Chain A
Amino acid sequence: MGQVTLRGIRKSYATVDVIKGIDLAVQEGEFMVFVGPSGCGKSTLLRMIAGLETITAGDLLIDGIRANDQRPADRGAAMVFQSYALYPHMTVAENMGFALKMAGVARKQRDEQVGRAAEVLRLGELLGRYPKELSGGQRQRVAIGRAIVRKPKVFLFDEPLSNLDAALRVNMRIELSRLHKELGTTMIYVTHDQVEAMTLGDRIAVFNQGHVEQLGAPLELYNRPANVFVAGFIGAPRINLIERPPVSGAAIAHQALWTALTSQTSTDAARIGLRPEHLHLAPTGEGIAATIALAEHLGDVSILHLRVDGVSDLLHAKVGANLPRCEAGQSVRLLPDANWALPYDANGRLIE
């Protein structure tokens, strides 16, 4: 129960292609995250699975049955909206029981099921309240409760936490993880926030302009991004991408950095990716010369934005806090960890 398979799914509005062929299989009980920049078509795809948008081409299978033409309510999917979309004139209990009421479930049984869902989400005391008497976090829990009551095969979340403040977002993330473990139901979760994606997902699909750039487990995406888009999208501060120095007339520091980075990998790379935490500071006399353009001291770590002679972009390094000589304008020496270097070809694809 709760397998969702997408085969060659496309979506076009008049002349614009929004979804350009998605093939994806969400396993039973899996927590799948769709992540990508704003406007890349995540919501559209989720709404196609829900049945709120028609599917232009391709097949949508839920538990092996083609669902393209099924009514939204018959697909066994429940959706949680970013805006919560609670019915303002109904109490929490009525909101949660509405789907059951529409399905013709008797009053008594409805109350029972709503009560059970309220227990799972600790909404007990709120059942008699109206949505406008609730805080943002409580509304979100009610929206989730409304989805749970239907006992769906798959939950669909569209950026459910983006209207909450930062602290609450962390709590809700934990709560969602707990819920997923407790219910064991398939969940498809759309977000533009990579932290949510990394912390919640069993697997993550990274979207870009209507197609999937990479599908994999969070650490797989982080450590082996299949292309420069994924490499740049996942991870903060952004990954360093260092261009191959020109054959002649390269700056000494640039050449030295390149040589250091390619010591462990293939040398036909056009660019090398290196995460900020793998760019270390070296004792004087060793390493590659760089100047600190900006230093951000976060307390536990410091983020250094560095200028290396010949390299067009600033490099980012994540170093320990309270290191000496770490202020803007100062010169430092860099030691890249070549074991973590990621070689990309001219098309931006990872060279395996």
Chain B
Amino acid sequence: MMIPTARRISPTWAPYLFISPFLILFAVFGVFPLAFSLYLAFQTWEPTSGLAAMQYVGVDNFAFALRDEWFWKSLKNTAWLAVASGLPQHLVAIPLAYFIHSSFTRLRNGVVGAYFMPYITSTVAIAILFSSLFSTDYGLINIGLQAMCQVPVLGWFMPQDPTDWLGQPENIKPAIAIIVFWRYVGFNVVLYLAALQTIPKDIYEAATMDGASRMQQFWHITLPSLKPMIFFGVTLSVIGGLQLFEEPFILTGGRGGSDQAGMTTAIYLYRMAFDFNDFGAASAMSWLLFIVVAILTWLTNRAFRPRGPSA
């Protein structure tokens, strides 16, 4: 069939036309906000006064952010949460994946599915669930702790009074960390299981012949083989952990909790923009956060770079 010449698209432009839906969406929702926030970081702007109210202020916003106590506090909170929720994720997920890989056959998919469930559950549902679990007077966790108080010896280490998990500043961060850990450990298990399946069975047999015990095989064969996946998983945890927002936001009612103990940087810059109406400072902080994320990702890369020649 002949297409009339007038309707034909020149071959030079056809490919661009075909990928244009992505490019347009990416430009509108990706590039523009990115560029705009960078622009905003050097302006002072109150959005309610309209676009014309913007004023160039140089690096004032950055200087303000770096002198802002709450910004530093939010960074510390974020770092604390990223480490306390991220590190155990991997320390648990790797042995757990190894165990599932070597011990389950038929039940395997069900077990993996159970661990993966929290990852695909809505954050709001999870926050509601944990709010009830952590509730001071009726929460299951406190009830459990109270019950353990009755046990001799073990009882000595248990709190005598119900713990105010989400109200007391010193308890907020551990509570959030537990939720985040619980939510993402299954995702990491799935990552590590996928990596474990790519390790050829015969190198374990060779190691058996070489006299390596199961523990030694884990240490000398499994772990090094998982290194690329550890790098990938830790990178995701670093990036995700430093941008932690939803869980603490919902659990602390969007304000960061008493004494800002649960206020992550992402929450703080959200509040800076939408509660305090300072979009310039919020943008500057988001770029500072980006720099932190970039540096930590680079450090992760350094730490887990595979030995030997690059593939």
Contacts and interface: CB of A to CB of B under 8 A. Distances in A.
B69 interface: no
Contacts of A85: 200, 202-203, 205-206
Given A83-B200, A98-B220, A89 B308 contact: yes
Interface stretch (A73-81, A175-183, A219-227, A288-296): A73-81
B212 A89 contact: no
Contacts of A50: 209
B227 to A, nearest CB: 7
A130 B308 contact: yes
A17 B209 CA distance: 25
B209 A77 contact: yes
A74 to B, nearest CB: 8
Given A89-B224, A91-B308, A83 B202 contact: yes
B206 A87 contact: yes
A91 B307 CA distance: 10
A249 interface: no
B174 interface: no
A86 B202 CA distance: 9
Contacts of A99: 209-211
A138 B43 CA distance: 64
A100 to B, nearest CB: 9
A51 B209 CA distance: 8
A146 B207 CA distance: 11
Interface residues of B, number: 22
A52 B211 contact: no
A331 B224 CA distance: 68
A102 B211 contact: yes
Interface of A is mostly: loop
B225 A79 contact: no
Nearest to B212: A102
B309 A98 contact: no
Given A89-B227, A89-B307, A130-B308, A73 B211 contact: yes
A87 B221 contact: yes
A86 B203 contact: yes
Given A130-B309, A132-B309, A103 B206 contact: no
A23 interface: no
B196 to A, nearest CB: 14
B160 to A, nearest CB: 51
Contact of A89 (B207, B208, B306): B306
Interface string A83-101: 1011111110000001100
Nearest to B223: A89
A79 B206 contact: yes
Given A89-B224, A130-B308, A132-B309, A81 B202 contact: yes
Interface string A20-62: 0000000000000000000000000000001110000000000
Contacts of B211: 71-73, 99, 102-103
Contacts of A150: 210
Contacts of A73: 208-211
Interface in A95-135: 98-99, 102-103, 130, 132-133
11 contacts: A79-B209, A87-B224, A89-B225, A89-B227, A89-B307, A99-B211, A102-B212, A103-B211, A130-B309, A132-B311, A146-B206
Given A98-B212, A99-B211, 20 more contacts: A73-B208, A73-B211, A79-B206, A81-B202, A81-B205, A81-B206, A85-B206, A86-B206, A87-B207, A87-B220, A87-B221, A89-B227, A89-B308, A90-B224, A98-B210, A102-B211, A130-B308, A130-B309, A146-B206, A146-B210
Interface of A: 50-52, 71-73, 77-79, 81, 83, 85-91, 98-99, 102-103, 130, 132-133, 146, 150
Interface of B: 200, 202-203, 205-212, 216, 220-221, 224-225, 227, 306-309, 311
